[in-house]
Amino acid sequence: MRASLPEERPNLRYHSLPMDEPALIQSAQRGDLDSFNRLVLEYQTPVYNLAYRIMGEGDSASDAAQETFISAYKNIRRYRGGSFKGWLMRIVTNACYDELRRRKRRPAASLEALSVVETGPDADSEARLVSQTEGPEAHAERSELAAAIQRCLDGLPDDQRMAVVLCDVQGMDYAEIALSMRTALGTVKSRIARARLKLRDCLHSQGELLPAAYRLEGDPS
């Protein structure tokens, strides 16, 4: 069990038949709902988990995920190739960003933010496997580090926080983040650089609170 992300969903997939993603996309673009539902089953976990990491609670994440797939179904004819997962991630990011702007609230990243970067379709299940197999001491140290990261993330401005979560948690590149946050590429780079510097300084100031294995050079031993 992942104590730091209690609301995240397991990586549920449709296993009855092998998935031919390009064929399913083409079929969905022709209006086949069954094909689109196969795609939903394949990607519902990463979509929900990203929404949860940004929104910080399950109900809002579920709403954002639902909005994402409704939007994807309505606009799938506009999909022109490339990573389908990346396309969905941009949609859910936009949905979350719009909602956060409406609420004028801070996005709440998970306690595992910046410690696990999703880089492929199996990243959620792989991270879960690591969590299940690590020893109690390693788990306790990782939890301490996660709590310290959370405290530091809480101090970031909204725009910097979201940019660094999208980059260092979701693994999106600068261009994708700029598109999702509807801002200039240079602004995204600046926000991420400033966020990382603030996080580093914040963690350095909390050196005595960090597990020994994670203390930055120069921290008290």
Q: How confident is the model at residue 189 (pLDDT cuts 50, 70, 90)?
A: very high
Whether 53 is in a domain gets the answer: yes
Whether 151 is in a domain gets the answer: yes
| Burial of residue 57, with CB atoms counted within 10 A of its CB: 0-12 exposed, 13-18 middle, 19 or more buried | exposed
| Cα radius of gyration (the chain) | 18
Whether 3 is in a domain gets the answer: no
If one compares 215 and 34, the residue with the highest pLDDT of the two is 34
**Residues 6 or more apart whose Cβ sits within 8 Å of residue 11:** 45, 46, 122, 124, 125, 128
Alpha-carbon span 213 to 71, nearest angstrom: 44
Whether 152 is in a domain gets the answer: yes
End-to-end, the C-alpha distance of the chain in Å comes to: 31
* Residue bearing tokens 């990607």: 43
Q: By the 8 A CB rule, do 3 and 112 touch?
A: no
- What average pLDDT does range 93-121 have in this prediction? 58
pLDDT number for residue 11 = 52
Whether 80 is in a domain gets the answer: yes
pLDDT number for residue 210 = 56
Q: Is the pTM of this model over 0.75?
A: no
Nearest alpha-carbon partner for 161 in 210, 88, 110, 127: 110
**Residue 221 DSSP class:** -
Tell me the average pLDDT of the chain: 75
Whether 13 is in a domain gets the answer: no
- What average pLDDT does range 82-87 have in this prediction? 88
Whether 110 is in a domain gets the answer: yes
If one compares 219 and 54, the residue with the highest pLDDT of the two is 54
**Residue 8 DSSP class:** P
Q: How confident is the model at residue 112 (pLDDT cuts 50, 70, 90)?
A: very low
Residue 186: which domain range?
21-207
Task: Provide the CB-side half-sphere exposure for 71 (13 A, CA).
Answer: 17
**Relative orientation angle of helices 33-55 and 123-133, to the nearest 10 degrees:** 50
Number of domains in the chain: 1
pLDDT number for residue 2 = 33
Q: By the 8 A CB rule, do 170 and 50 touch?
A: yes
- Dihedrals phi, psi of 97, to nearest 5 degrees: -65, -45
Alpha-carbon span 132 to 155, nearest angstrom: 30
By residue count, the chain amounts to: 221
Q: By the 8 A CB rule, do 199 and 146 touch?
A: no
CATH number, domain of 141, equals 1.10.1740.10
Whether 47 is in a domain gets the answer: yes
Alpha-carbon span 207 to 190, nearest angstrom: 26
Q: How confident is the model at residue 209 (pLDDT cuts 50, 70, 90)?
A: low
pLDDT number for residue 9 = 58
